[in-house]
């Protein structure tokens, strides 16, 4: 008599906010070919069907077989998680105490989360035709310089995808024009595993390293087959990127892949084009400017091993890689590496985790290292490399302070600053004015009764967006029309209060009517390709005045900007967030790095009501490093991170008493080596109609912190208030303001 072969039992991760795996039966008929770890299966969950990831395959189960549900089907594609990625993601879930199903969900490209299977084609790449002559080229260069630039790039780099070209600021029209003239053509990219060829290195673009750079490259090369973490602490323009490029050579030559994490690619097209010009190898991108299909293509090419270099933002750290040999995190201090909702991971920190697991080197680079990283470098846990000079003979921009308490201000600009802007423009150079507040005005109010239009759900003023004729709450996103009259007294004298970038653009344009001003912030660059377009216009000197938010502080280099003005730094000097000064200093130094080049040194002017403030003085007179070392001593004395370790519990509910009571119960338990601070109302106590409270758990060691968080989540969170609140835990919180 034939015996039915037994079923298998699968433990799977399901995208639900629960910290557990779920067990399903896999009937034998579905087990050919044998089910593998990391595979996707479709299972019933409640009334839905969901895509789940197989994390364990058992012969037996602790549950009664009759009570278990059955796997409906297997997704028979080849896009499973590798063992390496499985273990990495499990460690991420453990470290952040985050529901494992959600971790896997976020690591999976959107199209693979769906039950319906995506049809993915291979990407098309563009190539320059061999037959293009120098004369052809000269003809284009005259009439269409951008097309000529595109052609040059395609000649240097055999085969670029549309996503790469888009990210670099080219458009379809330019591509079509060249194709029509038969200067370029498209073909499907090969899927074969990347193999290095001598010709892949564009020797002519390679620079002779300075002594400082050479030492760093050779140190990294010596350690390329083991885990090692390197901080390159070097001012903007000191040649960090050149070090990355040369450190990558041997890795690529050994047919290994390189993963590069950057804060935002759209802002650093120059970095991307440096990579493209140096290495004639398949480069894949992963960032929010791409659509789901394009991101899935990157995922697949990286997994198959046909991509040699993957460049992406935060979540690119979850890319499956066939044979990863090196990770680079550029601008490692950048706040965008920390995800600020649901799965609150830090891209840099888990990049280090992944490098350690793979036993490969990782390079962190910054002109303003985060205090966490700097402390690890100073204490010898990381290899500490410094680049002290700007490469070539460019000088660093000088920072000076303007005491605005002593001056008449017009639209937020002091007389001194206006004069400096004017002088810059008259010399034919560009000026960048920096204000970290988008919109037209941060509030509107009634001139008669002083009523302020507050968002009902957040108790904070609406921001006026004049261009859209809307009031928008920057905290919850709600929008409404501008009221024609005051609802409180009926007056029609309703006016904007304060100034944002939109208004600044208008006022500056009026002050300097003979020059063109451009605003670069999240509002003005929402459209795909818009940012690249504006940046190009700036480089082409179509605009002389740039107005922007902190978006402009990142990566991008403006060679003809010789004056950077920062309208207001005072907020950071008196913040209750202990990281505010660190962030202010990073911002100041980063912004000043945007300015000037060899022939035209840059200048940075900072307006403040407190120019004598010791933090500002230290930073400006002694530089970031000195400032940072000093501030680290203060952190050590106060036992703040990086000298202690924190977890932040956030709770919210429709009534203020619930989150408070919930967190209070949590705070009443003692954990070894740990202390609680709070509960306290969040800096923004009310947001989107919810009342929010914070509780901080602080420990002297990471181990103690993790033990305590584990205990708390598994044994104490289940109190009488839990069902009345929504709560989350944030390990190594970066932003305590909300
Ligand atoms: P960072 O990444 O630190 O901002 P980059 O690597 O982009 O610095 O270098 C800044 C500028 O200096 C670039 O224009 C680059 O071409 C140039 N540069 C870098 N290293 C060298 C070198 N060894 N010799 C000459 N120029 C260099
Ligand atoms: Zn009124
Ligand atoms: Zn709101």
Q: What is the pLDDT of residues 253-284, one digit of tens each?
A: 999 999 999 998 766 677 888 898 899 999 99
Identify the three-state secondary structure at position 595. Answer: strand
Predicted confidence (pLDDT) per residue in 298-338, tens digit: 999 999 999 999 999 999 999 999 999 999 999 999 999 99
- Closest-CA residue, ligand 1 atom 5, reads 239
Residue 529's pLDDT is 76
- For strand 430-434 and strand 413-414, is the pairing parallel, antiparallel, or unpaired? unpaired
Q: Which residues surround ligand 3, an ion (CB under 5 A)?
A: 455, 457-458, 473, 475-476
Which of 3.40.605.10, 3.40.1110.10, 3.40.50.300, 3.30.830.10 would CATH assign to domain 198-387?
A: 3.40.50.300
Predicted confidence (pLDDT) per residue in 199-241, tens digit: 889 888 899 999 999 999 999 999 988 999 999 999 888 899 9
Q: Is the pLDDT of residue 684 over 50?
A: yes
- Closest-CA residue, ligand 1 atom 4, reads 237
Q: How confident is the model at residue 716 (pLDDT cuts 50, 70, 90)?
A: confident
Predicted confidence (pLDDT) per residue in 110-156, tens digit: 999 988 888 777 788 898 888 888 888 888 888 888 888 888 888 87
- Closest-CA residue, ligand 1 atom 23, reads 209
- Block residue for tokens 């970031």: 624
Q: Give ∠ CA 560-563-564 in degrees, rounded to 5.
A: 110
Would you tell me how many other CB atoms lie within 10 Å of the CB of residue 154? 25
Predicted confidence (pLDDT) per residue in 594-635, tens digit: 776 656 778 899 999 999 988 889 998 998 999 999 999 999
CA–centroid distance, residue 405 to ligand 1 (Å): 40
Backbone angles phi, psi at 672, to 5 degrees: -55, 125
**Contact (Cβ atoms closer than 8 angstroms) between residue 500 and residue 437:** yes
Ligand 1 atom with the smallest distance to the CA of 367 is 3
Closest CA to 446 of 466, 459, 467, 461: 461
Closest CA to 401 of 622, 621, 552, 624: 621
- Residue 211: both structure tokens together: 């002594």
**Contact (Cβ atoms closer than 8 angstroms) between residue 446 and residue 489:** yes
Q: What percent of the chain has pLDDT over 70?
A: 97
Closest CA to 505 of 548, 553, 462: 548
Q: Cβ neighbours of residue 135 under 8 Å, at least 6 residues apart?
A: none
Mean pLDDT of 392-416: 83
**Nearest ligand to the C-alpha of residue 367?**
1
CATH architecture of 645-731: 2-Layer Sandwich (3.30)
- 4-13, 62-71, 87-96: least confident range: 4-13
Closest CA to 605 of 396, 436, 401, 397: 401
CATH class of 398-438+500-634: alpha beta
Ligand 1 atom with the smallest distance to the CA of 232 is 3
| 392 CB within 6 A, ligand 1 | yes
Mean pLDDT of 665-677: 92
Closest CA to 248 of 207, 215, 217, 210: 217
CA–centroid distance, residue 71 to ligand 3 (Å): 43
| 669 CB within 6 A, ligand 1 | no
Q: Which of 239, 331, 334 to mutate to test the pocket of ligand 1 (most atoms within 8 A of CB)?
A: 239
Q: Which helix (H) or strand (E) holds 349?
A: helix 347-358
Ligand 1 atom with the smallest distance to the CA of 330 is 2
Residue 140's pLDDT is 84
Q: Which of 391, 394, 556, 589 to mutate to test the pocket of ligand 1 (most atoms within 8 A of CB)?
A: 391
Q: Where are the beta strands (DSSP E) in 549-593?
A: 561-566
Q: Cβ neighbours of residue 490 under 8 Å, at least 6 residues apart?
A: none
Q: Would you kindly state where each structural domain of the chain is located, as residue ranges?
A: 8-112, 124-188, 198-387, 398-438+500-634, 645-731
Distance, in Å, from the CA atom of 310 to the CA atom of 302, rounded to the nearest integer, reads 7
**Nearest ligand to the C-alpha of residue 211?**
1
C-alpha Rg value of the chain to the nearest Å: 28
- Block residue for tokens 């989350």: 728
Q: Is the pLDDT of residue 522 over 70?
A: yes
| 271 CB within 6 A, ligand 1 | no
Measured CA distances, 194 to 154, 189, 197, 247, 277 (Å) = 19, 11, 10, 18, 18
Q: Are 8-112 and 645-731 equal in CATH topology?
A: no
**Nearest ligand to the C-alpha of residue 446?**
2
**Nearest ligand to the C-alpha of residue 460?**
3
| 241 CB within 6 A, ligand 1 | yes
Q: Is the pLDDT of residue 399 over 90?
A: no
Q: How confident is the model at residue 395 (pLDDT cuts 50, 70, 90)?
A: low
Closest CA to 442 of 470, 458, 461, 468: 461
Measured CA distances, 672 to 548, 706, 707 (Å) = 47, 11, 9
| 396 CB within 6 A, ligand 1 | no
Q: Is the pLDDT of residue 346 over 70?
A: yes
| 240 CB within 6 A, ligand 1 | yes
Distance, in Å, from the CA atom of 735 to the CA atom of 712, rounded to the nearest integer, reads 22
- Closest-CA residue, ligand 1 atom 19, reads 239
> Mean pLDDT score of the chain, rounded to an integer?
90
Residue 236's pLDDT is 80
Closest CA to 74 of 140, 26, 146, 132: 26
Q: What is the 3-class SS of 694-720, one letter each residue?
A: EEEEEECCHHHHHHHHHHHHHHHCCCC
CATH code that applies to domain 8-112: 3.40.1440.60
Q: In the chain, what are the helix, strand and coil shares in percent, each to the nearest 5?
A: 35, 25, 40
Mean pLDDT of 626-648: 94
């Amino acid at each position: 008599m034939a015996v039915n072969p037994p079923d298998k039992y699968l433990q799977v991760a399901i995208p639900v906010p629960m910290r557990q795996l779920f067990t399903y039966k896999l009937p034998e008929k579905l087990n050919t070919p044998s089910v593998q770890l990391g595979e996707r299966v479709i299972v019933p969950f409640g009334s839905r069907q969901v895509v789940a990831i197989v994390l364990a395959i058992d012969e037996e189960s602790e549950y009664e077989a009759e009570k278990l549900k059955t796997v409906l089907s297997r997704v028979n594609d080849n896009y499973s998680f590798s063992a390496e990625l499985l273990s990495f993601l499990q460690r991420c879930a453990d470290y952040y105490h985050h529901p494992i199903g959600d971790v896997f969900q976020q690591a999976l490209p959107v199209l693979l989360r769906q039950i319906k299977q995506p049809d993915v084609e291979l990407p098309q790449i563009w190539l320059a035709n061999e037959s293009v002559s120098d004369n052809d080229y000269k003809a284009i260069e005259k009439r269409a310089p951008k097309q000529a630039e595109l052609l040059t790039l395609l000649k240097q780099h055999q085969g670029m995808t549309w996503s790469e070209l888009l990210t670099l600021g080219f458009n379809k029209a330019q591509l079509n024009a060249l194709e029509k003239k038969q200067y370029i053509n498209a073909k499907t990219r090969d899927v074969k595993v990347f193999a290095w060829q001598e010709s892949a290195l564009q020797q002519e673009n390679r620079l002779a390293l300075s002594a400082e750079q050479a030492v760093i490259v050779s140190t990294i090369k010596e350690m390329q087959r083991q885990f090692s973490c390197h901080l390159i602490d070097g001012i903007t323009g000191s040649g960090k990127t050149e070090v990355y490029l040369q450190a990558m050579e041997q890795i690529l030559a050994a047919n290994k892949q390189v993963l590069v994490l950057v804060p935002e690619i759209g802002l650093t097209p120059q970095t991307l084009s440096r990579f493209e010009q140096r290495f004639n190898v398949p480069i894949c991108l992963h960032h929010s400017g791409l659509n789901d299909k394009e991101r899935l293509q990157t995922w697949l090419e990286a997994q198959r091993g046909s991509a040699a270099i993957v460049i992406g933002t935060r979540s690119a750290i979850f890319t499956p890689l066939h044979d990863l040999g090196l990770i680079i995190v550029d601008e490692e201090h950048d706040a965008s590496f920390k995800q600020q909702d649901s799965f609150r991971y830090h891209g840099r920190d888990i990049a280090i985790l992944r490098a350690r697991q793979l036993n490969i080197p990782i390079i962190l680079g910054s002109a303003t290292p985060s205090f966490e990283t700097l402390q690890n470098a100073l204490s010898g846990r990381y290899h500490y490399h410094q680049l002290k000079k700007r490469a070539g003979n460019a000088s660093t921009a000088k920072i000076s302070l303007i005491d605005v308490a002593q001056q008449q201000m017009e639209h937020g600009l002091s007389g001194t600053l206006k004069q400096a802007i004017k002088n810059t423009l008259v010399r034919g150079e560009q000026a960048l004015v920096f204000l970290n507040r988008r919109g037209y005005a941060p509030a509107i109010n009634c001139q008669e009764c002083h009523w302020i239009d507050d968002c009902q759900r957040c108790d904070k003023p609406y921001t006026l967006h004049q261009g859209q004729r809307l009031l928008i709450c920057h905290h919850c996103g709600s929008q409404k029309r501008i009221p024609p009259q005051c609802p409180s007294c009926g007056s029609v004298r309703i006016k904007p209060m304060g100034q944002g970038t939109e208004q600044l653009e208008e006022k500056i344009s009026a002050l300097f009517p003979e020059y063109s001003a451009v605003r670069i912030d999240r509002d003005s660059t929402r459209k795909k390709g818009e940012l690249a377009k504006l940046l190009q216009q700036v480089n082409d000197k179509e605009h002389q005045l740039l107005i922007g938010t902190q978006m402009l502080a990142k990566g991008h280099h403006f060679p003809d900007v010789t004056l950077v003005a920062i309208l207001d730094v005072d907020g950071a000097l008196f913040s209750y967030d202990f990281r505010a000064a660190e962030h202010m200093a990073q911002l100041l130094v980063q912004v000043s790095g945007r300015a000037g080049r060899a022939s035209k040194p840059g200048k940075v002017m900072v307006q403040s009501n407190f120019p004598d403030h010791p933090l500002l003085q230290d930073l400006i007179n002694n530089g970031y490093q000195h400032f940072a070392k000093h501030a680290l001593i203060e952190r050590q004395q106060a036992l703040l991170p990086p000298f202690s370790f924190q977890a932040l519990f956030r709770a919210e509910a429709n009534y203020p008493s619930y989150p408070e009571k919930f967190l209070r119960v949590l705070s009443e338990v003692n954990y070894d080596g740990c202390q609680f601070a709070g509960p306290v109302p969040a800096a923004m106590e009310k947001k989107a109609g919810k009342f929010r409270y914070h509780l901080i758990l602080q420990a002297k060691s990471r181990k103690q912190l993790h033990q305590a968080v584990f205990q708390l989540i598994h044994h104490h969170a289940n109190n009488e208030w839990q069902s009345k609140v929504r709560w989350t835990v944030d390990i190594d919180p970066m932003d305590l303001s909300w």
